[in-house]
Amino acid sequence: MKGKATTTVLSGALLMVGALLAGCSTTGPGAPAWTAQPGSAGAGTTAPASADAPSTSPPDGPGASATPTTDPQAVATAPVWKTFSDPGKSVSFDLPEDWIAQSVTPEEGTLPGALKVEVKKPDGTFLAALRTGLPPSSAECADASRRPYTVISSVPVEVSAAGGEGTIPPRVVFRVIQGYRFFGSYGITNVVAGAGGQACELRNIVRGPGGKGDYSFGDVVSVKAYAPDEKVAPAKAFDTLDQAARYASEGTEFANVQRMLMSLEIKN
């Protein structure tokens, strides 16, 4: 099922918005504005206590906190887009014409038939990876390891996903978790991050249909509150929540990434 660029009213935070392989085709010269709409809830940074209540919590999971920010502005995406499809035609997504999508070897431990597709800018800067056939990941989290997290952007997307306990309707999200800095990551998820506005890690994971494994499409599979001596990239680090919100509202990188993530189609 293909992701569609529909937006929803979201709580609190500012809401937004190698060689080429065969299977890339130009989709047209349009350059639409790509942004979500601001939420109507209060702009406090304290996490609400209710669980999965869209009227009071950002729709990323129970108690995800929100942050005040400036009014959103429409951000134009790339003028020309193309479609990537793997040789087996099992996955496809749209991306700007000058971005590079390249199939690479999946990590060890993935299921048979798993795919990994990396997306980079023309200068080689890594943007995202689509990974399929991922084994189930653990949601265990000791209380002492929990850290506050904030949903900066959360937009519903239509993709194939398995439901059940600990899941939410799939969304394209940009979230930050607080450590010695605010560590941010974007991707598609349908798993609850944590309760009470705290989590050990934020997972860009979608529970796949039975027997197909999970899949991930984002800059990292999961982001956590890194230690000062740990490598952060390709996750992002910000000094303040407002700085993270500006990343989502200013410039074209996030707008282009969000549009790309929302176009994902995985064929069962």
| Predicted confidence (pLDDT) per residue in 141-192, tens digit | 888 899 999 999 999 999 989 988 889 999 999 999 999 999 999 999 999 9
Three-state secondary structure along the chain?
Answer: CECCCCCCECCCCCCCCCCCCCCCEEEECCCCECCCECCCCCCCCCCCCCCCCCCCCCECECCCECCCCCCCCCCECCCCEEEEECCCCCEEEEEECCCEEEEECCCCCCCCCCCEEEEECCCCCEEEEEEEEECCCCCCCCHHHCEEEEEEEEEECCCCCCCCCCEEEEEEEEEEEECCCEEEEEEEEEECCCCCCEECEEECCECCCCCCCEEEEECCCEEECCCCCCCCCCCEEECCHHHHHHHHHCCCHHHHHHHHHHCCEECC
| Predicted confidence (pLDDT) per residue in 206-262, tens digit | 998 777 899 999 999 999 999 999 999 999 999 999 999 999 999 899 999 999 999
pLDDT mean across residues, the chain? 79
Does 195 have pLDDT greater than 90? no
Does 73 have pLDDT greater than 60? no
| Predicted confidence (pLDDT) per residue in 81-99, tens digit | 999 999 999 999 999 999 9
